[in-house]
Amino acid sequence: MNTLRQIIAVTAVNLRAIPSRLGSSMVIVIGIAGVVGVLVALLSMAAGFKATLAGTGTHERAIVLRGGSTDELGSVITREQAAIITDTPGIARDADGTPQAIAEFYLLTDVAKPGADTPSNVVVRGTRVDVGRVRPEFRIVAGRMFTPGVREVVVGRAVAAQFETLRIGNTVDVRDGPWTIVGVFETGGDVHESELWVDAGALETASRRTAYNSVTVRLESAAAFATFKDALTTDPRMVVSAQREPDYYASRSEQLHLLIRILGYTVAVIMGIGAVFGALNVMYAAVATRAVEIATLRALGFGGLPVVVSVMIESLLLALAGGLVGAVVAYVFFNGYTVNTLNFQTFSQVAFAFRVTPELIRQGLAWALTMGLIGGLFPAIRAARLPIVEALRTG
Amino acid sequence: MAQTVVSLRGVSKRYTRGRQTIEVLHNLDLDIDKGDFLALMGPSGSGKTTLLNLIGGLDRPSAGELRVGDARLDQMSSAQLTRWRAQHVGFVFQFYNLLPVLSAERNVELPLLLTPLSAAERMKRVRIALQIVGLADRGKHKPAELSGGQAQRVAIARAIVADPTLLVCDEPTGDLDRKTADEVLGLLQLLNREHGKTIVMVTHDPKAAEFATHTLHLDKGRLVEQAAHA
């Protein structure tokens, strides 16, 4: 009780003195705000990227690729295989018994981006006009759906926002000449919104392809996946792999997500070291400035522990203020900010929005408090060890 | 027979700077009785502030026995000395050492935060202490809003508020003009005479020493003369 009262009293004295040391205290706040702002911004990029890919698909859908293929681009599914896959047990069926499955082409095309020297790779998905049977989240938000057999394109909302050339009425080279953009679609904010969708038949003719890249199926239920997968993998005619959609798309984000996180933490550690030295400097100066006050309190009978704790509390509060400022700045400037980048696992552009999540803010504040803890600890120990007699003499 | 409050037997104090050892106090024997007002005088470097710091429990002797009341200060740890100071000593410094961000009342209250007293009881004692030093109406003022004499009186109120055994004053008038210094010394004399406080005061000023009941002269760490005043 007595120690607690001492801590409160000494801390109150320290905190009341902050306005008289506002300039130096702001060094801690701004330094740590910078670190947390950069860290949260970078991690929000990773989080946004991952959320876009990991948020793609549902557990009631599965994607089938050639055995050994890690993505659609390197996968080949023949017409015969596609026919077998669509007839596999576990697939949901329409009222007329038609399996809810769709064999698709997947390829890349160059799209010029204003301000960039080189064109960007954008995914072209050859699908069917009734794609909504398998992907009910699909919705045309502007223009209209492509016409089967015609060289028309519907553009994902995210990629349309990033490439000025992808406007309704414009043309884009998909394969074998220009294709007309007739609509913009959305699929709930997932990775498909970074794609161009065309009619599979038209693409097959233009690209002279004879095999699909993948088959996506809608399952009877999430639990039906095991039945579906077992049936496919035990069929001696098939060398294919089946994955739940969310698992497949999450695996597409792993490398870039990891890279961004490593980059974020590396930058944060480097900046953090600078901020910790700044905090140390300021807190040492604060202790030196208050040496006589601290010595007076110690002479009056205040213990060393309350002095240590009070200096630590001051440092932590300043760091917390810095952390909050950094997190708020990151949120205001970056949350929802949409960019596109090359996913080097698929060699294609993915448009995504930065996501400043509560978890990232919590992480940022934890970093801030860690910096405040380190920055305050050594000055606090010095304050408690201050020789009373010598410090009083300096007054 | 007067009760001895402070007793030094063979007390020495040495400091080591690099390879050099400096003995500031040499084998001192001294008794201070309850109710004494002792002035410690001597030239700079004579060891008077060092002696005051030992008596006030701010430092420990290198050798010898030092008792204040029932406590053997020479045998106490740093933490024990801290607790002892809180209960038994009131300090008055040359430059007042008030905390600038706190009001006079809050400054005076500081030693009471180390006691189990309630907030109401603490404020009651603070007001009495400020009344004794004649600053009952200045409790809400910050140190920067007080004159030097007023600030030192607030410091004296802080020193007496917990009713310590001993008042330790290091050049309490060193920063004041003559008239104000006399007022502050008169107040210390009042505390000694009317409230029975035992006071040990370091001063360079012979006029200040005249307010004390005894004067002790130190030179090069040794007691050279002891004078009693009327």
DSSP letter for each residue of B138-175 = GTT--GGGS-HHHHHHHHHHHHHTT--SEEEEESTTTT
Best mutation target among A8, A10, A392, A393 (most B Cβ atoms within 10 Å) is: A392
Find out whether A16 and A290 touch, Cβ atoms under 8 Å: no
Report the distance separating Cα A394 and Cα A346, nearest Å.
Answer: 68
Q: Between A6, A13, A20, which is nearest B114 by CB?
A: A6
Of residues B49, B4, B30, B45, the one with CA closest to residue B169: B49
Q: Does B102 touch chain A (CB under 8 A)?
A: yes
Q: Does B71 touch chain A (CB under 8 A)?
A: no
Distance from CA of residue A271 to its chain's centroid?
21
Burial class of residue B144 (count of CB atoms within 10 Å of its CB; 0-12, 13-18, 19+): exposed
Find out whether A194 and A350 touch, Cβ atoms under 8 Å: yes
The residue ranges of every structural domain in chain B are: 33-62+76-228
**For residues A222-231, average pLDDT:** 93
Is pLDDT above 80 for A90? Answer: yes
Phi, psi values for residue B118, rounded to 5° = -75, 165
Q: Does B76 touch chain A (CB under 8 A)?
A: no
Least confident of A237-241, B3-7, B184-188: A237-241
DSSP secondary structure code for residue B42 in this structure: -
pLDDT category of residue A336 using cuts at 50, 70 and 90: confident
Best mutation target among B114, B158, B169 (most A Cβ atoms within 10 Å) is: B114
Is pLDDT above 90 for A112? Answer: no
**For residues A170-180, average pLDDT:** 93
Q: Tell me if A395 and B95 make a contact (CB, 8 A cut-off).
A: yes
Report the distance separating Cα A298 and Cα B143, nearest Å.
Answer: 20
Q: For the segment A10-69, what is each residue's pLDDT rounded down to a tens digit?
A: 888 888 888 877 888 888 899 899 989 988 998 888 888 777 777 777 899 999 999 888
Interface predicted TM-score of the whole assembly (ipTM), two decimals: 0.92
Percentage of residues in chain A having pLDDT higher than 90: 47
Distance from CA of A312 to the nearest CA of B (A): 19
pLDDT category of residue A344 using cuts at 50, 70 and 90: low
More confident residue, B1 or A383: A383
**A392 contacts in B (CB within 8 Å)?**
58, 93, 97
Q: Does B79 touch chain A (CB under 8 A)?
A: yes
A-B Cβ pairs (cutoff 8 Å, strict): 68
Q: Tell me if A301 and B87 make a contact (CB, 8 A cut-off).
A: yes
Write a three-state SS string for chain A: CHHHHHHHHHHHHHHHCHHHHHHHHHHHHHHHHHHHHHHHHHHHHHHHHHHHHHCCCCCCEEEEEECCCCCHHHCCECHHHHHHHHCCCCECECCCCCECEEEEEEEEEEECCCCCCCCEEEEEEEECCCHHHCCCCCEEEEECCCCCCCCEEEEEHHHHHHCCCCCCCCEEECCCCEEEEEEEEECCCCHHHHEEEEEHHHHHHHHCCCCECEEEEEECCHHHHHHHHHHHHCCCCCCEEEEEHHHHHHHHHHHHHHHHHHHHHHHHHHHHHHHHHHHHHHHHHHHHHCHHHHHHHHHHCCCHHHHHHHHHHHHHHHHHHHHHHHHHHHHHHHCCCEEEEEECCCCEEEEEECCCCHHHHHHHHHHHHHHHHHHHHHHHHHHHHCCHHHHHHHC
Q: Does B95 touch chain A (CB under 8 A)?
A: yes
The predicted structure's pLDDT at residue B1: 61
Q: Tell me if B101 and A13 make a contact (CB, 8 A cut-off).
A: yes
**B101 contacts in A (CB within 8 Å)?**
13, 16-17, 20
**For residues A115-142, average pLDDT:** 91
Distance from CA of B84 to the nearest CA of A (A): 8
The predicted structure's pLDDT at residue A89: 92
Q: Which residue has the tokens 């109710």?
A: B35
Q: Between A1, A2, A300, which is nearest B91 by CB?
A: A300
Q: Between A2, A293, A392, which is nearest B114 by CB?
A: A2
Find out whether A22 and B123 touch, Cβ atoms under 8 Å: no
Of residues A87, A76, A153, A164, the one with CA closest to residue A120: A164
Q: Tell me if A296 and B85 make a contact (CB, 8 A cut-off).
A: no
Distance from CA of A15 to the nearest CA of B (A): 9
The predicted structure's pLDDT at residue A345: 64
The predicted structure's pLDDT at residue A17: 80
pLDDT category of residue A256 using cuts at 50, 70 and 90: confident
Find out whether A30 and A322 touch, Cβ atoms under 8 Å: yes
Is pLDDT above 60 for B230? Answer: no
The predicted structure's pLDDT at residue A385: 84
Is pLDDT above 60 for A332? Answer: yes
**For residues A285-309, average pLDDT:** 88
**For residues A148-169, average pLDDT:** 93
Q: Tell me if A392 and B58 make a contact (CB, 8 A cut-off).
A: yes
Find out whether B215 and B39 touch, Cβ atoms under 8 Å: yes
For the domain covering B33-62+76-228, report its CATH number.
Answer: 3.40.50.300
Q: Tell me if A16 and B101 make a contact (CB, 8 A cut-off).
A: yes
Find out whether A267 and A42 touch, Cβ atoms under 8 Å: yes
The predicted structure's pLDDT at residue A79: 92
Report the distance separating Cα B28 and Cα B74, nearest Å.
Answer: 14
User: Average pLDDT over chain A, rounded to whole?
Assistant: 89
More confident residue, B99 or A342: B99
Report the distance separating Cα A374 and Cα A316, nearest Å.
Answer: 9
pTM over 0.80: no
Q: Tell me if A6 and B93 make a contact (CB, 8 A cut-off).
A: no
Nearest Cα residue in chain A from B95: A395
Least confident of A105-119, A336-350, A366-380: A336-350
Best mutation target among A3, A300, A310 (most B Cβ atoms within 10 Å) is: A300
